[in-house]
Every structure is written in structure tokens, then in C-alpha cells.
Structure 1
Amino acid sequence: MGSGRIIFLNGTSSSGKSSIARELLDVLDDGVYFHLSVDSFNAMRTKRELGPEELDAALRRTRMGFHRSIAAMAEVGNDVVVDHVLSEPWRLIDCLTVLPPEDVLLVGVHCLLDELVRREQARGDRPAGLAAHQYDLVHAHGDYDLECDSGAATPRECAQRIKEFLPHRPDPTAFTRLRRRHLGTAARIAVDALRERQTQKGDAVG
């Protein structure tokens, strides 16, 4: 059983990632895809009001669990469309650590700030200024396999472009390049060794 593919959509809140992900599930016809959204994971959390420190800790654990759920789904052969916001450097580092870089297609979802603000106000379910706060953070790593402008193209058009690009993923992938840049040699060796042991364990069980 081979690993599944991971289409990783990164962009600010209200940039159109979820809409593109839903369209991808409709247009992709070469596998069984699952849409994993960080917002969906956040929605699972208890509704009890949390203090600032407790909330920060809970959010960090949520993100870390989200990243590992992506890895687990792909490890057993599921194809996954990920909808995420890499607005903190540690989120990217954690993803680079737990996700197999050769299986990830990293897609930057861009949109002009004025349009993001308009969408945010129209939605009414996001804190005011959230997209503006994230705007210069989510793409700071500066490396993608593919980029889409959700202000100039419809979600369907973005999804179609991703579908057409998917068979032509670059080698090395953006995740591989970023991993080399952000993870030290010792850390990469440790992660690779752990992944190899997990693969051997799975083969032995099979």
C-alpha cells in the first residue's frame, strides 16, 4: 500500500482555500480524496471559554494534531486536500517534520488585501483584521510548487489548474527544498530514520 498524495493549500483566512478544496474534490477523478481543514479541527474543540494561556496551548496542540492526522491519512494510502494557514513559522517546521516531502504539492493561494478585507466583512464570522494580520506571514517562506490567484480566478478554475499540474510535480518538491533549508542535517536524518522504521514496521505487519 503506497502513500497518498497531499495537496497542501496555504493562504490567509478568506483567501478561498476551502472553496478551492471543495472544487478539487469534485474535479479530481484519479483517486479518493479527503478534505482536511484546520477550521474543522478548531470546530471540534470544547466551547468552554478558555483563558489566553490555556487557549494558546490548546490551539498549538490542535495544529500539531492536525498535522499528524494529515500524515496518518496519507500514510495508509489516502489522497488528501489540506486547507491550512501557515501564519506562524513553527507550523511550517512541524509540517516539514511530519509530512513526507516528496508526496506534498504545496500550493500558495493568493488574493489582494482589499478583496480579502471585503470577503472577511461579507462573511461576518471572522475577527476583523484577521486576514490583514496574516497577509505578510503566511507566504513568508517564499517557495511553492504552484500558486493561484483566487481574486483573478474562480475556485473552479484554480482547482482545474491544480489538477492539470498534479501529474507534473517538480523534483525536488517545494516541501523537499524547504525541509533542506529549515531543518538541520541531524534533524533530517532523525526524521528519515523514524519514517523508515515506521515503513519497515508496516511491511512486517503486512
Structure 2
Amino acid sequence: MASGRIIFLNGTSSSGKSSIARELLRVVDDGVFFHLAVDSFNAMRTKRELGPAELDTALRQTRMGFHRSIAAMAEVGNDIVVDHVLSESWRLLDCLAVLRPQDVLFVGVRCSLDEVVRREQARGDRPSGLAAHQFELVHNHGDYDLECDTSKADARECAQHIKEFLPHRPMPTAFTRLRGRYLPGIPEA
């Protein structure tokens, strides 16, 4: 059974990842894609108040489970659009360890700082300053297969660009290059 393709969208909160993912589900016409979003996994967690240490543990376990869910879905042939925020280096390292790098199209979703701050305030469902805090962190690794800027193109245009790029993914992929850089002891599957 062939593994599924993974379109992995990485960007700050309010950068437009979820909007691009929804558009990708509309425009990509070769396969059946599922949108897996880290926010959806976080929303499944218990609603009781958690102390700082308990919350940190729960968030780390949630994200690790999210990464493995992506891998499991793709392993059995499902095509996936991932919506994630790689604002801590361990998150990228974990994804590099559990996802087949040749299956991943790694897309950087960029947006100007002023615009993500404006969107965050307009949304009202995020802690103030979250996007600004993440702004420098999410793209630290510096390697993508493709990038989109949602302050210059709307979600539909970004999705169309990704769709057109998908059949022409570079080999080696950004995930392959990043795995070689950060996890050289893990052989390519």
C-alpha cells in the first residue's frame, strides 16, 4: 500500500493556515485529502483548569499524539493537509522522526507581523501577543519546499499555487534535507 501525501502547512497563529487548508480540500482534485489541525486536537482535551506543569505535559503529549496521528493516517494511504505551528524546535524534530520525509510537501505560510497581529485581535479567540511571540520562531529551521505569503495572496490563491506545485515536489524534499541536518542517524524509510 502506498503512503499518502502530506501537505504540511507551518506558520504563526492567524497566518492563514486553516483557511488555506480548507481551500486545499476544495481545489485539490487528485485524491481524497483530510485536514488535520493541531487546534482540533487541542479542542478535544478536557475542559477543567490545568496547572502550569500539568498543562505543559498535556500540550506536549497532545502534540506528540497529533504527529503520530498524521503518520498513521498517511501510512495507510490517506492524503493529509496538516495545519501546525512549529514554534518549539522539538515539534519539528518529532515530526522529522515520525513522518516519512519523502511524503511531505513542507509549506511555509508567512504573513507580515502587522497583519497577523491585526487578525489575532480581530479573531478574539487567541491570547494577545501569541502570533507576535511565534513570529520569529516558526520559520527558524529555514527550509521549505514552497512558501506562501497570505499578506500578498488570499487563501484560495495560495491553495491553487500549492495544488499546481504538488506534482512537482523537489527530491530530496525539505523534510529529507532537514532530517539529514537534525537527525542524521535516522535512515530514510
TM-score by structure 2 length? 0.99
In the other structure, the counterpart of 1:202 is none
**Runs (4+) off by over 2 Å:** none
Structure of greater Rg:
1
Q: Which SS does the other structure have where 1:58 is aligned?
A: helix
Quick one: which amino acid aligns to residue 68 of structure 2?
A: R
Question: What do the CA deviations read for 1:85-144 (whole angstroms, capped 9, x no partner)?
Answer: 000000000000000000000000000000011000000000000000000000000000
Question: In the TM superposition, what is the alpha-carbon distance from 1:184 to its structure 2 partner?
Answer: 3.0
Q: C-alpha separation between the residues in 2 aligned to 1:113 and 1:177? A: 28
Counterpart of 1:143 in structure 2 is: 143
Measured in 2, the distance between the counterparts of 1:127 and 1:58 equals: 18
Q: Which residue of 1 aligns with 2:4?
A: 4
Higher helix share: 1
Q: Residue 38 of structure 1: CA displacement?
A: 0.1
What's 1:81 paired with?
Answer: 81
Map of 2:62 onto structure 1: 62
Name the CA distance, whole Å, in 2 between partners of 1:32 and 1:184.
Answer: 33
What is the count of residue pairs matched by the alignment?
189
The answer for the alignment partner of 2:153 in structure 1 is 153
Identify unmatched segments of 5+ residues in structure 1: 196-206
Report the TM-score when normalising by structure 1.
Answer: 0.91
Secondary structure in 1 matching 2:64:
helix
SS for the counterpart of 2:14 is: coil
CA RMSD of aligned residues (A): 0.7
In 2, Cα distance between equivalents of 1:171 and 1:116: 32
For 2:108, what is the secondary structure of its paired residue? strand
2:87 is the counterpart of 1:72: no
Distance 1:102 1:68 in 2: 16
What is the CA-CA distance between 1:76 and the residue it aligns to?
Answer: 0.3
Of all paired residues, the percent bearing the same amino acid is 80
Gaps of 5+ in 2: none
